[in-house]
Structure 1
């Protein structure tokens, strides 16, 4: 019987891309709400842009990835 193992985390793990590639790790993006925009961390907003928004004291909140998004990462 063969077993398959997957390592899935959210984007707040901030693992180096090389490490993720080497170990087959998938990161599901967190949702960052900046003003009235909901953006996926790492794809629609960079860490640098997020830091700049925080420095400017813009309202920023986060939301966990949905269970459906996590489930899709395992498929």
Structure 2
């Protein structure tokens, strides 16, 4: 089994997870969510915006993002009509 079969996605995306975890740890360790709530929320929004921009900018059409293909035609409806 190859590592690329276990960790799907680009190395950049996994590094982004590490950055997110590090920033959240740093903000939580300093109790920023208690002392400075508004800047905390603004920093979270900025972090989310950065992540979305990085993912959208580096995504290539046709790139595999899930382990199995998503066949929408084969799906069963959740509620029977």
TM over 0.5: no
Q: Going by fraction, where is strand more abundant, 1 or 2?
A: 1
Report the TM-score when normalising by structure 1.
Answer: 0.32
Which of 1 and 2 has higher RCO (CA within 8 Å, sep 6+)? 2
Greater radius of gyration (CA): 2
